[in-house]
A and B are shown apart, each in its own frame.
Chain A
Amino acid sequence: MFCSVSIPVRMAAFLLALVLSAGIARATEPLRVETLLLWGTNDAQSPDPKHKPVDGDLAKKLGNSPYRWKYYFEVNRKTNSIPAGDTKKNIQMSDHCALDIKNVGDGHVEVALSGDGKLLSMRKEPLKSDWPLIFSGAAKNDTAWLVVIKKVDASAPKPDKPAGK
């Protein structure tokens, strides 16, 4: 029956199938997620020499944000590839802070933030490479902790080794 259909119609059907399969592939492709633990302070130097000052686009974003700290240091960085429907559990950002990240598909993630083993919050939202999601809170001595979660494009180069751990 399909053979009796004219060639342009067959080509159009092929293109339609291609578009649909591309959409399905996009919705089910693994998601590379980068998570960073930052420390915000007004001191120019971190007491931990392993801490690396945040630079680049993220530093610019933080500098123009409502956060009032002058300096941000990278304490830890992790990158995970999460297949659609899967959950990467217990991404340990520090001794006190851990994340569970679920790739719910179609570019969306569900992030569970835990502090000292206790679940603090669950957040579901679309994750983009140029639009980080930042969890933050107060720390000692008028400083702050920040957990940055962002998508890493598949074409992006592999990140450097974690600054802290």
Chain B
Amino acid sequence: MTDHDFELKLQAYLDGELAAPETAMMEDRLGRDQEGRLLLAELRNTCAALAGHEAEIKLPETREFFWSKIEREIGRQEQPAPAAAGVSWFTWLRRHVLPATGIAFAVCLMSIWAVHRGKISGQFAEMELASDDVGAYTYSDPQQKMTMVWFYDRNDNSQSTELSPLGNVEEE
């Protein structure tokens, strides 16, 4: 018997798990083996120390009831989550109205931009004269809502600024 087998059998002997013939053989050996007796004594001391300090856990309920609770909890977690009976108004609002609000906001921004762009582009005009001999005065009257351009011949002194009805306005 190797030492390891002896140690295992010694533990079993201590726990009273050996059969009668093996128990007799173990006692015979222990009578002859001092080291074995010392190991047995050490094991007994260890068992006594552990037994004296082991925390005692007591279930407040019966064993069957405890395991029944675990079984029911496992069963509950395995069930699929039941579908919501009704969608709350806030969820509906968030799902439907908020995206529409975002798009409406984008439309408003584009409209403001378009109106603003139209106003800016509507305020300015461009003009080019084809000849250096021709001059022009431009006058925009916001009250009468009209734009007037007066052309004159730069070489003709009789058509001076004084004669132009738009003489005191923007010259091109």
Cβ of B78 < 8 Å from any Cβ of A?
Answer: no
Our count of residue pairs bridging A and B at CB distance below 8 angstroms stands at 120
Q: Let me know if A11 and B130 touch, CB within 8 A.
A: no
Instruction: Report the separation of the CA atoms of residues A18 and B15 in the bound assembly, to the nearest whole angstrom.
Output: 91
| B163 CB contacts on chain A under 8 angstroms | 138
User: Are B149 and A9 in touch, CB under 8 angstroms?
Assistant: no
Residues 117-160 of B contacting A (Cβ, < 8 Å): 118, 121-122, 124-131, 134, 136, 139, 141, 143-152, 159
Please classify the interface of chain B as helix (H, G, I), strand (E, B), loop, or mixed, using the class held by over half of its residues: mixed
| Of the residues B99, B114, B126, contact of A8 by C-beta under 8 Å | B99
**Do B151 and A124 touch across chains, with their CB atoms under 8 A apart?**
no
Contact call A122/B130, Cβ cutoff below 8 A = yes
Q: Determine whether the beta carbon of B104 is less than 8 Å from that of A132.
A: no
User: Which of A59-67, A84-92, A156-164 is the interface stretch?
Assistant: A59-67
User: Contact at B136–A121, with CB atoms within 8 Å?
Assistant: yes
Point out the residues of chain B lying under 8 angstroms from A13, CB to CB. 103
Is B46 an interface residue, CB under 8 A from the partner? no
In residues 131-164 of chain A, which contact B (Cβ within 8 Å)?
Answer: 131-138, 144
CA–CA, A39 and B95, complex, Å: 67
For the complex, is B97 an interface residue (Cβ under 8 Å from A)?
yes
Q: Which of B34-42, B53-61, B105-113 contacts the other chain?
A: B105-113
A108: shortest Cβ distance to chain B, in Å?
7
Partner of A11, one of B100, B124, B139: B100
| In the complex, chain B residues whose CB is within 8 Å of the CB of A124 | 125-127
Distance in angstroms from A34 CB to nearest chain B CB is 14
Contact among A8, A121, A125, A132 for B100, CB-based, below 8 A: A8
CA distance A102 to B101 in the complex (A): 40
A144 to B122, CA, bound (A): 28
How far in angstroms is the closest Cβ of chain A from B80? 23
Tell me the complex Cα distance, A120–B96, Å.
60
For A25, the chain B residues whose CB sits under 8 A away are none
B131 contacts across to A, CB distance below 8 A:
118-120
Chain B hits for A165, CB < 8 A:
none
Q: Which residues of A contact B (CB under 8 A)?
A: 6-9, 11-13, 15-16, 19-20, 23, 61, 64-68, 106-108, 113, 118-126, 128, 130-138, 144
Would you mind naming 28 contact pairs between A and B with Cβ atoms under 8 Å apart?
A: A6-B95, A8-B100, A9-B96, A12-B107, A13-B103, A16-B103, A65-B146, A65-B165, A66-B139, A106-B121, A107-B122, A108-B121, A118-B131, A119-B130, A119-B131, A120-B151, A121-B128, A122-B127, A122-B128, A123-B125, A123-B127, A124-B127, A128-B145, A133-B147, A134-B146, A134-B148, A136-B148, A137-B150
